[in-house]
Amino acid sequence: MTARDNRVQTILWVDLSDGCTRLEALPEEWTRKYLGCRGVNARLLFDEVQAGTDPLGPDNVLFFGTGPMDGLPIGMGRMSVACKSPRGTVAEGSFGGFFGPELRRAGIDYLAIRGQADHPVYLYIEDEKAEIRDASHLWGLKTNETDTALRRELSDPDVQLRYIGPAAENLVHASPIFGNLNNSGGRAGCGEVMASKRLKAIAVRGSKGIRVADYDAFLEAYKVFRQRLDLATSRDMWTPVWSTYGAPVLSRLFTDIGNLMTRNASEMRWDYDKATRISCENYLDNYVTKAKACWCCPWTACQKLHEIKSGKYQGFKGGNYWAGQPVTFGSLIDNDDLDLILVLSGLCNQYGLDIFHVGYTLSWAMECFENGLLTKADTDGLELRFGCPDKEGLIDLIRKIAMREGFGDLLAKGCAEASRIVEQGSERFCLSVKGQELEGIAERNLYMVALGIALSEVGPDHTRWYPPYPCNPSLISKEELAELGIDLDLRLAFQGRNPEQKGRLLRWFTISRAIVESMPSCVFLVRDTLGLDMRPWWNLFKAATGIEFDYPEFVMAGERLLNLDRAFNIREGYRRADDHPPIRMATEDVPYFGYRKLDAAVFDPMLDEYYEANGWSVATSIPTRKKLEELGLGDVAGEFDALGIEVE
């Protein structure tokens, strides 16, 4: 097999209705305009899925995107998965692991799956050849069972897989797609869409090599990149903790500063001893068995495998206790039993559920129960209170959500839909935006976060602007910022509760993270100055692809993607009015700390600043004609004109 390059990208179209597959090359200029991965997916989604398409019908298209860096040591195995969400917005998520490099080695950069099979199937790909195979024997299996079964069936320990669990099969809200056991992505609806097509899994094997255009330059660029991230040389305060002990450190760090969502965020601090019990030190000491990593990650132990060593759940294995679960199954529901957290999150992984959907819907239900809006008659007799008095009942409830049984069926709809059904004012306990649950990051103490959550086209998704705690501003000088074209006073911009510069900071963060996700690489690794200075990324991309473009052109690719995502939502009817914080954050000050609610007086000017900085209409959030033309997206403006959508 000859080696492939990184300049021209290929797409495999699969129609599950008629069983046809077709491999073709994408236009070479797309690599320049959209980079790859999330950028190309945004273009494909806008082009292929028209407004009003039924998300669970045959005309929705599910895109899996790798990109020119996958298979190279900075791709981190990242992939973007995108489709139209059952809620109506763009659904785009990313995940890591090892599938992306394998797909690229098979000579395929993108999968585009349309149609619907009439029985469960899986897609088997080997070096540019794809087969649609029967998966009736796999349908109903949990994610870990699917992983084992397929590896056995294919007699290949190194086959790479992506699959859905029973929750997606039952069209449970926010079910993601899984792979490598504990990697998941697409919680905005991609799992449901995959299930609606009756596609249980994708398996891929590839044997091509990948040639970079300028190997010497690539190695030099890698060394710069690695230096910013390596434990020995990174100047970022998060690197030592994130690369070893991990994100569960946050329970201890956040509770005293009012950043820890407790009891459905009715409070923002928890008991310190409880926070310590579920923290990263206890996890590493008593549960972790092994470090794991995605493809070529320069960090030691971002992922981990763990096992419960004693007690009621002895022998339960899982992985990746990270930033979400200490909140979703910890402080949010007032549970300080780390065993229970690991069992609940492990079951979510096995059933193929989204932990944020489950955690926030459980905490919504608990607050309803505590306030008499739900009773034991509604909850199948379960005492559904904060503090989790009935642990066994709660564990069984995870299964019931996945299988849509009894009370589980209400929760399976997500808290936004569930509160519409329960009424009685329960929507004020629902922590969601655009129908998607939050992700555990404080808003009333971090205005950039509040803005980012409200604006995100897929619903709350911190990866679109991560991290909420940027690097030390003294790492980068005013002169360097000017060179980079970043017009920000970082000290002001990084002040959590100062509304100034938040819109412009978020503009830069969303553009730069869009670039990182389009290469692709891992957005968690924008450490040190890598979130501000995109030149190391640019050098890597040029060396790998051989494309000579200047820095502003490279950066523009990120902005182009954001405009395509926004345009998709605009076409579906979303406007400025949909970009707002959850009701609780907008109407309630933070108890004890007194952090102000995000009412219109503080929120609207930040929103204005973001839209203006982006060149979007302040009234509607629709990208202006001038902005679209500047980005080479005149066709989008044309389509808006044809649809009668007002473009300023």
Partner 1 sequence: MKRIYVIEDLCNGCRLCETFCSSLTDGVFDVKQSRIKVIKVPGEEKDIPIVDCNGRCVRPLYDDGGPTCVAVCPTGALIYEEQHDAVAKRLELEAAREEHSLFKVIAPWKWPLPWRRPGAGKAAPAGGD
Partner 2 sequence: MKQLELRYVAHVTTITRILQEDYQTEASTIRELLDELDARYGGLRGLFVNPDTGQLNLNTMIYYSDPGKIPVSVIDLDHQVVDGGTITFW
Q: Quick check: 245 binds partner 1 (CB under 8 A)?
A: yes
The CA distance from 204 to 159, in Å, is 6
CA contacts within 13 A on the Cβ side of 348: 30
The CA distance from 302 to 297, in Å, is 9
The CA distance from 513 to 334, in Å, is 33
Q: Quick one: what does residue 209 bind among partner 1, partner 2, none, with the CB cut-off 5 to 8 Å set by partner type?
A: partner 1
Q: Quick check: 285 binds partner 1 (CB under 8 A)?
A: yes
- For the bound state, the minimum distance from the C-beta of residue 264 to partner 2, rounded and expressed in Å, comes to 22
Q: Quick one: what does residue 335 bind among partner 1, partner 2, none, with the CB cut-off 5 to 8 Å set by partner type?
A: none
Give the residue, chosen from 133, 211, 235, 385, that forms a contact with partner 1 under the rule CB under 8 A: 211
Give the residue, chosen from 8, 23, 73, 153, that forms a contact with partner 1 under the rule CB under 8 A: 73
Contact 420, 447 (CB under 8 A): no
What letter represents residue 495's amino acid? Q
Contact 122, 16 (CB under 8 A): no
Residue closer to partner 1, measured from CB, 302 or 365: 302
Structure tokens at 219: 């190695």
Residue closer to partner 2, measured from CB, 32 or 226: 226
Q: Quick check: 301 binds partner 1 (CB under 8 A)?
A: yes
Q: Quick one: what does residue 249 bind among partner 1, partner 2, none, with the CB cut-off 5 to 8 Å set by partner type?
A: partner 2
Q: Quick one: what does residue 257 bind among partner 1, partner 2, none, with the CB cut-off 5 to 8 Å set by partner type?
A: partner 2
The CA distance from 359 to 259, in Å, is 17
Q: Which listed range, 300-308, 379-387, 488-496, 569-577, lies at the site for partner 1 (CB under 8 A)?
A: 300-308
The residue to which tokens 């690539």 are assigned: 218
- Kindly state the number of chain residues that form the binding site for partner 2, as judged by CB under 8 A: 22
Q: Quick check: 92 binds partner 2 (CB under 8 A)?
A: no
The CA distance from 523 to 466, in Å, is 7
Q: Quick check: 71 binds partner 1 (CB under 8 A)?
A: yes
The CA distance from 61 to 47, in Å, is 11
Look at strands 303-307 and 288-292 and give their pairing.
antiparallel
Task: Give, as ranges, the residues between 208 and 237 that touch partner 2 (CB under 8 A).
Answer: 234-237
Structure tokens at 60: 């929705």
Q: Which listed range, 24-32, 167-175, 251-259, 282-290, lies at the site for partner 1 (CB under 8 A)?
A: 282-290
Task: Give, as ranges, the residues between 240 and 299 that touch partner 2 (CB under 8 A).
Answer: 240-241, 244-245, 249, 252-253, 256-258, 276, 279-281
- For the bound state, the minimum distance from the C-beta of residue 234 to partner 1, rounded and expressed in Å, comes to 10
- Kindly state the number of chain residues that form the binding site for partner 1, as judged by CB under 8 A: 51
C-alpha 179, offset from chain centre:
14
Q: Quick one: what does residue 208 bind among partner 2, partner 1, none, with the CB cut-off 5 to 8 Å set by partner type?
A: partner 1
Residue closer to partner 2, measured from CB, 252 or 580: 252
Residue closer to partner 2, measured from CB, 53 or 286: 286
- For the bound state, the minimum distance from the C-beta of residue 120 to partner 2, rounded and expressed in Å, comes to 44
The CA distance from 641 to 264, in Å, is 43
Return the ∠ at Cα 431 (arms to 82 and 428), rounded to 5°. 140
Give the residue, chosen from 244, 266, 495, 620, that forms a contact with partner 1 under the rule CB under 8 A: 244
Q: Quick one: what does residue 394 bind among partner 2, partner 1, none, with the CB cut-off 5 to 8 Å set by partner type?
A: none
Residue closer to partner 2, measured from CB, 299 or 611: 299
Q: Quick check: 208 binds partner 1 (CB under 8 A)?
A: yes
Radius of gyration for the chain, computed over Cα atoms and rounded to the nearest angstrom? 23
Residue closer to partner 2, measured from CB, 291 or 475: 475
Q: Quick check: 219 binds partner 1 (CB under 8 A)?
A: yes
Give the residue, chosen from 18, 24, 119, 232, that forms a contact with partner 1 under the rule CB under 8 A: 232
Task: Give, as ranges, the residues between 569 and 598 that touch partner 2 (CB under 8 A).
Answer: 593
Contact 139, 169 (CB under 8 A): yes
Task: Give, as ranges, the residues between 136 and 155 that touch partner 1 (CB under 8 A).
Answer: 147-148, 151-152
Q: Quick one: what does residue 151 bind among partner 2, partner 1, none, with the CB cut-off 5 to 8 Å set by partner type?
A: partner 1
The CA distance from 237 to 542, in Å, is 30
C-alpha pair distances (Å), 495 with each of 10, 525, 582: 44, 22, 22
Q: Which listed range, 34-42, 133-141, 239-247, 502-510, lies at the site for partner 2 (CB under 8 A)?
A: 239-247
**What residues are paired with 21 via a beta bridge?**
14
Q: Quick one: what does residue 252 bind among partner 2, partner 1, none, with the CB cut-off 5 to 8 Å set by partner type?
A: partner 2
Contact 132, 121 (CB under 8 A): yes
DSSP for 229-254 reads: HSTTT---TTHHHHTTT-GGGHHHHH
C-alpha pair distances (Å), 312 with each of 289, 320, 346: 19, 21, 15
Q: Quick one: what does residue 219 bind among partner 2, partner 1, none, with the CB cut-off 5 to 8 Å set by partner type?
A: partner 1
Contact 565, 92 (CB under 8 A): yes
H helix intervals, 329-446: 338-351, 355-370, 391-403, 407-411, 415-422
The CA distance from 219 to 229, in Å, is 15
Look at strands 121-126 and 199-205 and give their pairing.
parallel
Contact 387, 340 (CB under 8 A): no
Pick from 199, 180, 61, 192: which is nearest to 135 by CA?
199
Structure tokens at 287: 């549960």
Residue closer to partner 2, measured from CB, 280 or 556: 280
Could you list the residues that contact partner 2 (CB under 8 A)? Answer: 234-237, 239-241, 244-245, 249, 252-253, 256-258, 276, 279-281, 472, 475, 593
Could you list the residues that contact partner 1 (CB under 8 A)? Answer: 3, 71-73, 98, 147-148, 151-152, 157-158, 180-181, 207-212, 215, 218-219, 222-223, 226, 230-232, 240, 243-245, 284-285, 288-301, 303-305
